[in-house]
């Protein structure tokens, strides 16, 4: 059988298709390059400024001529601003709040996903509605409640890490419960029913079956909650009063706004060190985060 001849019209169509495909790839690579530059230029600039011993942000050199570790040494040797204590305070508050929030989220989401009771759908819609409003709307109310509560229970008053942990734990529940409930809905109910037939209790099913299967979403919620609490500025700025109880974000603000207002080198050095825990945590758990965000469907 004779081969089919390629007509000029077909050849022109094929060349036009390949040209459009190449143009499409070129546009994608250009956009990707712009996004990469947009993301990495601030990071490189901050790193460069942290090694610049002149304390200036205005520099056209990626590696300053006077580069050194003087800014980092001054950061930890400052007499009035305990940078290490601020870092430990942030890590402690974020870690405890994240553990409590993930534990309460898992229990609440399991109940909403596996049990059927009156008002269940209305409760889920109420949780979603609450999560829409920004937390800054409640700053004044939280300050007033914490101030009054401190007169009766000192540990839950102003300038207390316990009050911050309590607020963060309860504040992160709404959207986390909604997210985890959607993930648990994607786990077949037949698994629970089989375990019940075999004599298992709901607590055993939750602890031995559901939690291991929900590891990706648990890790995702934990990392996102930790990052949000660790990087929060407004609540610690309003509720914390003594220098020793401040978090790292509020402490960095003091470095910039007080006697180091013109020395950006120390401020950027503190920003680099403050970002390391979140960066390491994200790099170690990124596969779980991707799996947790892409698996499961949100159902009411």
**Looking at the structure, do residues 57 and 133 belong to the same domain, yes or no?**
no
Domain boundary among 68, 89, 109: 68
pLDDT at 96 (0 to 100): 93
- For residues 200 and 285, state if they share a domain: yes
* Predicted local confidence at residue 297, as pLDDT: 40
The answer as to whether 2 is a domain residue is no
282: in domain: yes
The domain total for the chain is 2
Do the domain assignments include residue 256?
Answer: yes
pLDDT of residue 299: 44
**Interior/surface letters 247-283, b for 16+ CB within 10 angstroms, e for the rest:** bbbbbbebbbeeebeebbbbbbbbbbbbeebeeebee
Question: What residues contact residue 202 under an 8 Å CB cut-off, 6+ apart?
Answer: 114, 196
Domain span including residue 258: 75-294
Closest CA to 206 of 175, 232, 184, 234: 184
What is the pLDDT, as a whole number, of residue 100?
92
Residue 171 CA to residue 25 CA, distance in Å, equals 44
Neighbouring C-alpha atoms within 13 Å toward the C-beta of 236: 26
DSSP-derived secondary structure letter, 62: S
| Domain final position from 68, 87, 104 | 68
Mark whether 23 and 40 lie in a shared domain.
Answer: yes
Q: Is residue 290 part of a domain?
A: yes
Q: Are 300 and 121 in contact (CB under 8 A)?
A: yes
Tell me if 299 is assigned to some domain: no
Does 57 fall in a domain?
yes
299: left (phi over 0), alpha (psi -120 to 50) or beta: beta
Which residues does residue 67 pair with via DSSP β-bridges, in sequence order? 52
pLDDT tens, residue order, the chain (300 aa): 445 555 655 555 655 767 777 888 888 888 988 888 888 888 888 888 778 776 666 665 666 667 777 878 878 876 667 888 888 999 999 999 999 999 988 888 888 888 887 877 787 777 777 777 777 778 888 888 888 888 887 788 888 888 889 888 887 777 888 888 888 888 888 888 888 887 778 888 888 888 888 888 888 888 888 988 998 888 888 888 888 888 888 888 877 665 545 667 788 888 888 888 888 888 887 777 666 555 544 444
In terms of domains, do 22 and 135 share one? no
The SS3 assignment for 173 reads helix
Phi, psi of 52 (to 5 degrees): -85, 110
- Residue 224 has a CB neighbour count (10 Å cut-off) of 19
> Does residue 232 sit in the same domain as residue 214?
yes
Among the candidates 44, 68, 92, a domain finishes at: 68
In a domain, 300, yes or no: no
Helix H or strand E segment including 152: none
Clarify whether residues 92 and 19 are in a common domain: no
Query: Would you state the pLDDT for residue 291?
Result: 62
- Specify the CATH number for the domain of residue 154: 1.10.3720.10
Do residues 90 and 249 touch, judged by C-beta distance below 8 A? yes
263 and 287 in a common domain:
yes
CB 278 within 8 A of CB 205: no
In this structure, what DSSP letter does residue 52 have? B
Q: Are 136 and 234 in contact (CB under 8 A)?
A: yes
Distance of CA 21 to the CA centre of its chain: 37
Please indicate, yes or no, if residue 3 is contained in any of the structural domains.
no
| 270 and 148 within one domain | yes
Sequence-ordered alpha helix ranges (H) in the chain: 8-51, 70-77, 83-114, 120-132, 139-150, 161-171, 173-185, 189-197, 202-205, 211-213, 215-230, 234-239, 248-257, 264-294
């Amino acid at each position: 059988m004779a081969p089919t001849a390629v007509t000029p019209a077909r050849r022109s169509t094929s060349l036009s298709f390949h040209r459009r495909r190449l143009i499409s790839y070129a546009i994608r690579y250009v956009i990707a390059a712009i996004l990469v530059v947009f993301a990495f230029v601030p990071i490189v600039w901050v790193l460069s400024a942290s090694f610049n011993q002149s304390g200036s942000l205005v520099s056209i050199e990626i590696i300053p001529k006077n580069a050194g570790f003087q800014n980092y040494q001054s950061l930890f040797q400052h007499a009035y601003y305990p940078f290490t204590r601020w870092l430990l305070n942030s890590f402690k508050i974020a870690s405890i709040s994240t553990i409590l929030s993930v534990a309460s989220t898992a229990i609440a989401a399991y109940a909403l996903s596996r049990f059927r009771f009156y008002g269940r759908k209305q409760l889920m819609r109420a949780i979603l509605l609450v999560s829409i409003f920004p937390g800054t709307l409640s700053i004044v109310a939280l300050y007033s409640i914490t101030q009054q509560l401190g007169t009766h229970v000192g540990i839950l008053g102003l300038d207390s890490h316990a009050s911050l942990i309590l607020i963060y734990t309860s504040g992160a529940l709404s959207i986390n419960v909604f997210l985890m409930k959607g993930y648990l809905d994607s786990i077949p109910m037949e698994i629970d029913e089989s375990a019940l037939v075999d004599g298992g209790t709901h607590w055993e099913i939750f602890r031995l079956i559901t939690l291991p299967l929900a590891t990706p979403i648990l890790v995702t919620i934990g990392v996102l909650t930790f990052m949000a609490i660790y990087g929060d500025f407004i609540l610690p700025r309003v509720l914390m009063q003594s220098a020793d109880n401040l978090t790292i974000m509020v402490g960095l603000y003091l470095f910039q706004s007080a006697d180091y207002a013109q020395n950006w080198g120390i401020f950027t050095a503190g920003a680099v060190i403050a970002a390391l825990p979140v960066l390491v945590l994200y790099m170690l758990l990124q596969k779980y985060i991707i799996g947790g965000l892409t698996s499961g469907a949100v159902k009411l």
